[in-house]
Amino acid sequence: MALTPKHSSKALDDYIDNVELADAPKPEPSLAYRFDFETGRISGVVDEMEALKQFIRKALITRRSRYLIYDDDYGCEIPGLLGEDVTDGYLQSEIPRMVREALVYDDRIEDVTNIVVTRKNDSVFIQFTVISIFGDIDEGVVL
């Protein structure tokens, strides 16, 4: 006894085309509370592109492994460099690596490119492009 129709596979093909595969990954919502970086207040929620932009900025200004609320993947080593006496060459070589490591573990981010580091007095300006599932984001952070 056969489990499929003998003479026509059309019925089986139609069934397979209409069945949602259980193993197919579904994008998870990226809802997050809206954080106002200027005032330090939380108000409302953001999703998709705005939530990702907020994650990028927050991940880069948060020192990795400093706060127990975050796992060891969250954050960046760049804040640990601030105030240290490091050369421009060191900043040019290490900051791009640190930016990538801080961001690429997030499933929404596919790559981080075009990282440009500029130092002026006591500030470091970082410009980069994030390639995400929502589209490309040109971002800049001042540390």
Which structure tokens are listed for 83?
A: 């105030």
Q: Give the long-range contacts of residues 25-33, CB within 8 A, separation 24 or more.
A: 27/133, 28/107, 30/108
Each domain of the chain, given as residue ranges in start order, spans 29-142
CB 140 within 8 A of CB 129: no
Tokens describing residue 33: 């509370």
Lookup: tokens for 80: 């640990």
> pLDDT (tens digit, 9 = 90+) per residue, 84-102?
788 888 888 899 999 999 9
What would the pLDDT profile of 45-94 be if each residue is shown by its tens digit?
999 999 999 999 999 988 888 888 888 888 888 877 777 788 888 888 89
pTM: predicted TM-score of the whole model, two decimal places: 0.73
> Span 29-142: which CATH code?
3.10.450.40
Cβ atoms of 125 and 117 closer than 8 Å:
yes
Tell me the two tokens of residue 27. Answer: 């994008």
Q: What are phi and psi of 90, to 5 degrees?
A: -65, -45
